Structure 1
Amino acid sequence: MAITVNGESRSIAASATVAVLLGSLGFDIRKVAVERNLEMVPGTAYGATILVEGDSLEIVHFIGGA
């Protein structure tokens, strides 16, 4: 199915969750914020939030340093 991630079209498996998507993109789920269709997804809900055709996600990755 087709979704949009940070403005780019992507094809993912049906019934994929936010956590599965983040893992496939190489993100550490503890260090990202996800907005789905203009609403924030709580980090505790990444594994339970199933993506559907046409979803639009914005992913922000936090990078720390000294």
Structure 2
Amino acid sequence: MNNYFTIFINGDPFNCDSSMSLLDILRYLDIDVNNVIIEYNNDIIHRIQFNSLLFKPKDAIEIITIVGGG
């Protein structure tokens, strides 16, 4: 049986399955994981943790997109 709950992404509620990792959510949202910085409950998360980070209800992430240019 799936367990759904709400987390917050950039301040907005997002309903997710308890089995979804951070990487799963970023892929679902079609976000390029190579061009983002993720803050999880006020801590910066290293890219190698994206697949192993699972959420708890009411967790919060901020997705910061890196934009290059010149």
Number of aligned residue pairs: 66
Rg larger for: 2
Tell me the residue number matched to 2:47.
Answer: 43
TM value normalised by structure 1: 0.92
Tell me the residue number matched to 1:21.
Answer: 25
**1:11 corresponds to which letter in structure 2?**
N
TM value normalised by structure 2: 0.87
Q: Are the counterparts in 2 of residues 15 and 52 from structure 1 also a CA contact under 8 Å?
A: no
4+ long deviations beyond 4 Å:
none
User: Mind listing any 5+ residue stretches in structure 2 that lack a counterpart?
Assistant: none
**2:10 corresponds to which letter in structure 1?**
N
Identical counterparts, % of pairs: 23
Instruction: Tell me, in whole angstroms, the C-alpha distance in 1 between the residues paired with 2:67 and 2:29.
Output: 16
- How far off is 1:65 after superposition? 2.8
Pair 1:33-2:37 in alignment = yes
Question: Cα RMSD over matched residues?
Answer: 0.9
